[in-house]
Amino acid sequence: MTGVAVVAGTRPEIIKMAPIIRALQKQAVPFTFLHTGQHYEYEMSQGFIEELRLPTPDCCREIRAHGPGHQVSRAINFVERTIRKEKPKIVLVHGDTNTTLGAALAANKHRVPLGHVEAGLRSFDLRMPEEHNRRLVDHISTQLYAPTHNAAQNLRRESVWGDVIVTGNTAIDAVLQYLPIAVEKSRIIDTARFEEYALATFHRAENVDNPRILHNLTKVLVNSPLPIVFPVHPRTNVRLLRCGLLQRLKGSKNVQLLPPIGYLDTLVLLKNSRLVLTDSGGLVEEATAPPIRKRVVVARISTERPEAAKAGFSWIAGTRAGEILTAIDEALFDGHELPLVSPYGTGNAAETIVTRMLRMLSFPGTSVHRYLPRCLGLKNEPS
């Protein structure tokens, strides 16, 4: 019998679950690490696993290249097989991906307690498939590990039945744990053409799958007042090529294109940048970590991370070229000192999550079926 099933399928999940896996190892808690293969390119998954020094996961390659519905159903099947075989006491999922939803549904149908890491984030933008996923997962979770008090308030307003616990965000844990390694090992900064630059990343479907918005983002990169270092996500590369925009970026002296890069290289580019331009929520969080502290222009019309904006780290600029360029100017010339403390915690989120999880389970040896009735407000059923 396995104590904990840790499920991931994409680069952000792997990065943010890494501190939890390290905390489980530190406390000698038995676990199974499952990788659904939602990001199946080496650079987007296995490369991260190796450089983060994580154990080799049980992998499923069946999800790759399928549409969202098939991804969810195949994630269900993959996690169900593990539940039947390993009989975990709890399944841990992260965030809002199709992997997260599929694993959560598998745990729910097998009456296995579910822990949702990074619960309670809300963009209130139902165009985003991630918004649907995170809401569904939150409402079937046994323990909801909210990264901030704002996220916890979202959950309580929705009357979720699971236990809401404010933990901080494991993104900060990961930065603190891996940045020293990155500074020592990465040589990516030697390849940067510019002494001063903005780090740019774009990958969200509502941005890169929309030709009009993709044209806007290309215009921003070419006309940015600060030179751009741009590691290109595989999805974004395909869309740029289809829209005939890739050559425009390649021909710009203002933009340096890079292939997909590892987490350690990303941390080094982030630390040495002057500004960040992105639609990535994870990069917003990482930019607030005390060793990094960078301003971020977010190319979106909504955010599920208002704490960063409130603290002065981020500008929600929209997706029009003129508005983004204006936000870049504002961020570059903003005279306010950034906070010394991240709104996403102090770097002990993973330890808090594991401690509260073990407390719930009275690990080891507790029957999982005692907890679902308790969380539902029902009398305990006999085991």
- CA–CA dist 336, 52 (Å, integer): 34
233 an active-site residue?
Answer: no
Terminal Cα distance for the chain, rounded: 17
Q: Pick from 25, 263, 40, 19: which is nearest to 117 by CA?
A: 19
- Residues 113, 114, 120, 125, CA torsion sign: negative
- Taking a C-beta distance cutoff of 8 angstroms, is the pair 194, 309 a contact? no
**How many CB atoms lie under 10 A from the CB of residue 70?**
13
**Residue 271 DSSP symbol:** H
- CA–CA dist 155, 285 (Å, integer): 20
Q: Pick from 117, 81, 136, 73: which is nearest to 99 by CA?
A: 73
376 burial level (CB within 10 Å; 0-12, 13-18, 19+): exposed
Spell out the alpha helix ranges (H) of 110-233.
129-138, 149-157, 170-185, 205-208, 211-223
β-pair partners for 316? 298
- CA–CA dist 160, 41 (Å, integer): 36
Q: Which position among 66, 132, 203, 369 bears the catalytic label?
A: 203
Q: What strands, in cross-sheet order, belong to the sheet with 275-278?
A: 255-258, 228-231, 198-201, 275-278, 295-298, 314-316
Which residues have a Cβ under 8 Å from the Cβ of 137 and sit 6 or more positions away? 93, 96, 100, 101, 104, 114, 116, 119
Torsion of CA 18, 41, 228, 203, to 10 degrees: -80
**Residue 379 DSSP symbol:** P
Residues marked active site are found at: 203
